[in-house]
Amino acid sequence: MQPSTVRCGSAGIVLPIDEMEQSELTVPDAVYGTFRLPTFVRAVTEAPEFMRLKYLKQLGVSNAVFESARHTRYDHSLGACYLSGRLLDAVNKTLNPPVTEDERKCVMLAAALHDIGHGPFSHLWEKFVEAYGAPWRHERSSVELAQRVLDRLENVSIKQIALICALIRGDAADLLTADRQFLAHIVSSDVDVDRCDYLQRDAHHVPGVIEPSRPFRQMFDRVRVVTVEGKARLAYHWQDYPLVYEMACARQAFHRRCYQDVEVLGAELMMLDVMHEAERAGFRFTRDGNSEPLSKVHDKPELFRYLNDNITSELAASKLPGLDRAKALIARLQSKDLYKEIIRFSIDMIEEVNKFNHQQGKPILGQAFRCIKSTKQWFGSFNVTFYKPSPAKGDDDDVAVVSLEEARDLNHSNTVTGESAEEIKEYIIYCTDTNPAVHSTAQQYFAKLRGGSAAKES
């Protein structure tokens, strides 16, 4: 006899009833292998706002330099969600009362939805929007789009939605009692599932940047809740201090060698120029009768939910006059013919860049700024707590809270790996022209300026 069936989800998938009752989301993942997520997560991932993340590359235009950097915000969001469940499982081994199903639901949905508001090409879109006088961060749109998705679900209450959105924003502390404050640190903190996943995922897809001694997620295996100044917070085993330190080093290394690699910044500058050209040409992004310039799309969630990395294909196919330079730059990006670095300065040279461009009669030069904290700055500001088991009572009964410094000292005999690097602050000037003679002229012009500046300083 064939089992009874029922139609499930927005995609109209037909499932046998006995399968529908267990319709978790099965995720084949490049980093963690195959894992399963609860039914309530599956419902969220079927929303068009979430499906859009499949078309947003995690590392923006980095694939113009690192070919394999093609993983998506969709992959990362599901990975962070999986890690949040894994962390909660570890916490429940010692927590009394344990994390409730309602709390688990809110945390895991916040982890799944925390990046739903990213614009095309990762953080580059924030730079683009800000150029038009609108301070905007993806967290704002994440909350707006998450609210739209959650409002359509019957099994999520108004109270749950408020907590989920607060967890995404990073201000959930006001909604939690003192003994539940630790829940606010799972999705958004110095050591959270977001950072843990993207560092592991980026390391997998951009090999050679870092080589972790062991997976960062292993620090969650011994996590537990402790009370500090009357409030519950997450604490990591003192023996996992080297892994936490290594994660700080990994973040600095990725900024230096990938996220803010000089060639990657040049590719970002090109993509920004593409979007500015589209803005100047009067291009409007249009869906379902809604239309806005690219710099304003984030203000309309019903329109923003359609915007993804495929905007370059739309611009390349557009018949709108005035897009010739934008189309040429898109072609160059696709062929990896990137802007070339000509020189670096320790001070802002934008006035000289603009002066040179004015003399040439066209935008020959562009400037990017990179600022990367030192490993010491990053790790020194980490708000992270450690613990050690009480010798008298053992692991499962009682623990002592250990500071960052104490955990470091306790690990003096253990290997603490990770590459330490100094702070970097520099302004990088690029030539946008493909003509070698133009490149040489610009390089000589700014080399003289730098020589003059050095002479004045000495």
pLDDT in tens, 433-457: 999 999 999 999 999 998 865 434 4
Residues 6+ apart with CB under 8 A from 242: 213, 411, 414, 415, 416, 417, 418
- The DSSP code sequence of 251-292 is HHHHIIIIIT-HHHHHHHHHHHHHHHHHHHTT-EEEETTEEE
Other Cβ atoms less than 10 A from the Cβ of 153: the count is 15
Q: Is 412 helix (H, G, I), strand (E, B) or coil?
A: coil
Question: How confident is the model over 120-135, as a mean pLDDT?
Answer: 92
How far does the chain reach from its first CA to its final CA, in angstroms? 90
Q: pLDDT digit string (tens) for 28-72?
A: 999 999 999 999 999 999 999 999 999 999 999 999 999 999 999
300 vs 313: CA distance, rounded Å? 22
When pLDDT is cut at 50, 70 and 90, the band that residue 19 belongs to is: very low
Mean pLDDT of the chain: 90
Greater pLDDT, 333 or 382:
333
pLDDT at 450: 86
Lowest-confidence pick of 12-21, 66-75, 208-217, 284-293: 12-21
Q: pLDDT digit string (tens) for 334-349?
A: 999 999 999 999 999 9
Give the angle 47-144-287 at the CA atoms, nearest 5°: 60
Q: pLDDT digit string (tens) for 391-435?
A: 665 545 689 999 888 998 888 766 667 777 899 999 999 999 999
pLDDT at 396: 52
Q: What amino acid is encoded at 408 in this protein?
A: R
376 vs 247: CA distance, rounded Å? 12
319 vs 203: CA distance, rounded Å? 40
164 vs 175: CA distance, rounded Å? 10
When pLDDT is cut at 50, 70 and 90, the band that residue 12 belongs to is: very low
Residues 6+ apart with CB under 8 A from 124: 60, 61, 268, 271, 272
Other Cβ atoms less than 10 A from the Cβ of 18: the count is 9
Question: How confident is the model over 148-164, as a mean pLDDT?
Answer: 96
Q: What is the CATH number of domain 25-260+380-420?
A: 1.10.3210.10
Q: pLDDT digit string (tens) for 63-109?
A: 999 999 999 999 999 999 999 999 999 999 999 999 999 999 999 99
109 vs 91: CA distance, rounded Å? 18
* Helix or strand (DSSP H, E) at 429: strand 424-431
In percent, the amount of the chain with pLDDT more than 70 equals 91
Q: pLDDT digit string (tens) for 344-381?
A: 999 999 999 999 999 999 999 999 999 999 988 888 77
When pLDDT is cut at 50, 70 and 90, the band that residue 283 belongs to is: very high
C-alpha distance from residue 267 to each of 251, 329, 368 (Å): 21, 10, 10
Question: What is the residue extent of each domain of the chain?
Answer: 25-260+380-420, 272-338, 339-373+423-447
For the chain, what is the total number of helices (H) and then of strands (E)? 18, 13
pLDDT at 392: 61
Bridge partners of 402?
Answer: 386
Residues 6+ apart with CB under 8 A from 1: none
Given a contact cutoff of 8 angstroms between Cβ atoms, the answer to whether 235 and 387 are in contact is yes
Question: How confident is the model over 123-151, as a mean pLDDT?
Answer: 93
